[in-house]
Structure 1
């Protein structure tokens, strides 16, 4: 197969070459000639030789198999985007395995086998990209994208493996066991907390303080509040004197990442004030409000 435009697949292309000026004999392509080619239809583009790329794929595959005696499931390659050309870029393609899987890395495509991978070297504008270089094969663990149904407060919350991996930072390197033992439950809990519609505002602060005397040990009130991230907060009145003199506990859960916050307070006012000040505990960063009264007074003027 001839050298082609990586965008349209056309063969009306040009590139720099080393030529004997006397005999006009072609010697070799110039340095990075294919990376700086010209297509009659597409202009300045990267050119590609699909047959040569396919041969490189076979070579890298054979080398991997000889070293590992097992099949890889990812290939690192260079691609050219046909819908928005901007030179080449690195990308991963997954090979084989079930379709409904999730991993900890971004991929541009999934191929059933090596033949389907090689087919990506032939330019096809409708595909959106062309594979122009194979850089090597790898094996990385992948997991089936299962759906877990977690019961929270009498409601069944569905959460998928993909949702769990999106919520937990990649450096946690979650395994299937991690997801089944705790990560799915934690993700479902946050998913349920996002449904809370009550927010911490003047009306809620007044109501909580006015009805404090009615709050029984073990009871709690919950709300959301916006800091840099959105948080779900639960204020609970302790059941026993185990934590005396502390009578209230704040449990806060970030709704955008796995941060949590827990503190105990002697009074409900102190708990609410700490929330209103964004859980500030920095000595060199003054609180926005020095008291609940200041918060209520300033809110009247807004």
Structure 2
């Protein structure tokens, strides 16, 4: 298939449903060959099934595209390594990694137990790090062998990672961590021909449809479906392609027909005594500075 990703090979994690599926289909529509990863777990991370990954592969092949399934657990070293191996075995290369897999276990902090913390941090943050680490090692080896890649990584954060979200301390922490990982990876991997960016999407998926059932319902009158996962995918496809040359270390919000470049932390008002503050002086200075600073945006779900 012709398109801006013609000839490229992409691996998409969590591609059996929702955003990942939409990304895989959109990449194929623009000429990419895709490794469809999905463990087939439930919306809270329980169990496993090869069904979702294979179903999306069948869907792609029925459309005339090329795809292979990968049902390994990308939160483990073996699973992440086999994701790269699947791409190399099937297509001889990997050009783009889209980290997307995840699930939710929402609790208020006082009710959030250690297992729920570890599971969500594991699938989102570790599930980004391990595929990225194995892909990066491959691309570094290619660069050192004189075959510098034109590689892309697209990580998936969230508004919860940017602003916080009540009842999602584990998820917000993981998604904020992904932003930090994105910035470090962009800086470290640029010398090897790798660009790394992140998106913070808003769409109707298994993770959001129960919480926002009314506001995210698909229209029945043929109107534009603002919450369709496919609305986010065009930006992912462009970031995955060679057309995005020079764009790295950036974070984009994507929702409906809107794309926003997020600015991130920047220094605001500052006071410098030139020596050590007393606690009272530090407090007075902090109070003065806060009157000059922009107020923070509200945390999602805060009243």
For normalisation by structure 2, the TM-score amounts to 0.20
Answer 1 or 2: higher relative contact order, Cα 8 Å, separation at least 6. 2
Q: Name whichever structure is richer in helix by fraction.
A: 2
For normalisation by structure 1, the TM-score amounts to 0.20
Q: Greater Rg, structure 1 or structure 2?
A: 1
